[in-house]
């Protein structure tokens, strides 16, 4: 069977962690590549933000991301729960885990990543906003569901 690329939109919130757990338990299989997509809002304009603003960072293997200087370089927060989950899954399922960082609007960047990386299936969490909040705030989930070029699974937080 050919290797598949499974994407998980990860902002380290409880709902995105739940989506990651769901993807590992229900979707990822031996030999797949799990791609964590992490989007940072444009903040202070640093060199890497400008350098990678269009294409995102290089794909960073999980092994490298375990090292603090690498996490700092890519501005990835350390979350023991997420890294433990990824390390265990990588060993048990013999899968590859990589992280791709983007800077900008999460709605557009997640859809861009699906195209660019040829992700076959995307999993993302839902914060469980009410209808009024979704209308006022805009929903990353709704946008991605409407615009991504692959199947999208939304894992509800409740």
At 146, which CATH number? 3.40.50.620
Q: What is the pLDDT of residues 39-68, one digit of tens each?
A: 987 654 455 555 666 788 899 999 999 999
Using an 8 Å Cβ cutoff, are 38 and 109 in contact? no
Residue 55's closest CA among 109, 121, 119? 109
Q: Which whole number is the average pLDDT over 75-86?
A: 92
Q: What is the pTM of this model?
A: 0.87
Domain of 150, in residue numbers:
5-156
Q: What is the pLDDT of residues 83-119, one digit of tens each?
A: 999 999 999 999 999 999 998 888 899 999 999 999 9
Residue 10's closest CA among 100, 84, 88, 94? 100
Count of structural domains, the chain: 1
């Amino acid at each position: 069977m050919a290797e598949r690329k499974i994407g998980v939109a990860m902002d380290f919130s409880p709902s995105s962690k739940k989506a990651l757990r769901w993807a590992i338990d229900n979707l990822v299989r031996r030999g797949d590549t799990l791609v964590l997509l992490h989007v940072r809002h444009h903040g202070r304009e640093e060199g890497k933000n400008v350098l990678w603003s269009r294409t995102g960072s290089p794909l960073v293997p999980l092994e490298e991301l375990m090292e603090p200087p690498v996490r700092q370089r890519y501005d990835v927060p350390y979350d023991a729960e997420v890294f433990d989950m990824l390390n265990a899954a990588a060993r048990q399922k013999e899968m590859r885990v990589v992280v791709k960082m983007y800077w900008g609007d999460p709605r557009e960047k997640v859809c861009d990543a699906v195209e660019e990386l040829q992700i076959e299936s995307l999993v993302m969490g839902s914060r469980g906003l009410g209808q009024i909040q979704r209308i006022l705030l805009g929903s990353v989930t709704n946008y991605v569901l409407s615009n991504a070029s692959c199947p999208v699974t939304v894992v509800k937080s409740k």
